[in-house]
């Protein structure tokens, strides 16, 4: 017999945008607010995000089992933490570097979004709480492994491009990264261009000297 976990309303893109998290898109200079204090030694700073949400239900035989029946991934740019220094010259020319970094994050996000609920781990326990905790631990292990792979590749990208200073290398690697991204299906749901303008979150930051 199955029973639902506690009442839960899956967050929407409007909820995310209201908190400053905007969907993946082609970056513009205006995506980076001027902030000379947040990262004073960096010419510019990008922080992507991947927010996984899930709903689970219980079944019970000899044990309680908790398994996912809804799985949603939101990803894109954290505008709260992405910024540029007021004296950074030609930010327009720096966009390929930050775009490639965001594209790497999006590859990770789309791979996660492609997982079906049945492909995710379950949790088992003598009580509902034990089953829930086991489920969360198992999902957390998957997420950490995926984030680690992204972090490692992002670090390699940063080193290879000298943190964006080697623009020729940026263009070369960015083209290959974008090709990989385009081969992955976009997550279901509205695109950035279809979303209303807001009326005014395992992430990694990139910086350049």
- Locate the domains of the chain by residue range: 2-207
Question: What is the C-alpha to C-alpha distance for residues 130 and 136, in angstroms, rounded to an integer?
Answer: 10
- Per-residue confidence (pLDDT) for residue 207, from 0 to 100: 35
Strands 33-34 and 83-84: parallel
Question: What is the C-alpha to C-alpha distance for residues 123 and 135, in angstroms, rounded to an integer?
Answer: 4
Question: What is the C-alpha to C-alpha distance for residues 123 and 104, in angstroms, rounded to an integer?
Answer: 30
The 10s digit of each residue's pLDDT in 62-109 is 899 999 999 999 999 999 999 999 998 889 999 999 999 999 999 999
Strand partners, 34: 84
Question: What is the C-alpha to C-alpha distance for residues 109 and 75, in angstroms, rounded to an integer?
Answer: 6
- Per-residue confidence (pLDDT) for residue 7, from 0 to 100: 54
pTM, two decimal places: 0.85
Asked if 67 and 131 count as a contact pair (C-beta separation under 8 A), the reply is: no
Question: What is the C-alpha to C-alpha distance for residues 103 and 153, in angstroms, rounded to an integer?
Answer: 12
Q: pLDDT tens track of the chain, all 209 residues?
A: 334 445 567 899 999 999 999 999 999 999 999 998 888 888 999 999 999 999 999 999 889 999 999 999 999 999 999 999 999 888 999 999 999 999 999 999 999 999 999 999 999 999 999 999 999 999 999 999 999 999 999 999 999 999 999 999 999 999 999 999 999 988 765 444 333 333 223 333 333 32
């Amino acid at each position: 017999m199955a029973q639902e976990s506690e009442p839960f309303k899956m967050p929407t893109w409007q909820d995310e945008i209201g908190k400053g998290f905007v969907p993946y898109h082609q970056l513009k200079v205006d995506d980076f607010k001027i902030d000379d204090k947040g990262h004073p030694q960096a010419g510019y700073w990008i922080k992507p995000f991947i927010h996984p949400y899930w709903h689970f239900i219980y079944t019970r035989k000899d044990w309680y089992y908790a398994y996912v029946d809804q799985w949603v991934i939101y990803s894109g740019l954290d505008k709260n933490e992405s910024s540029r220094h007021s004296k950074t010259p030609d930010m327009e020319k720096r966009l390929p570097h930050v775009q490639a970094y965001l594209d790497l994050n999006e590859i990770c996000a789309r791979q996660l979004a492609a997982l079906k609920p049945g492909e995710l781990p379950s949790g088992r326990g003598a009580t509902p709480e034990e089953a829930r905790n086991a489920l969360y631990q198992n999902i957390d292990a998957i997420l950490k492994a995926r984030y680690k792979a992204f972090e490692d590749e992002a670090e390699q990208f940063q080193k290879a491009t000298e943190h964006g200073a080697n623009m020729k290398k940026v263009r070369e690697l960015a083209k290959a990264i974008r090709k990989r991204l385009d081969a992955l299906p976009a997550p279901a749901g509205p695109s950035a261009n279809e979303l209303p303008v807001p009326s005014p979150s395992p992430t990694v930051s990139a910086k350049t000297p």
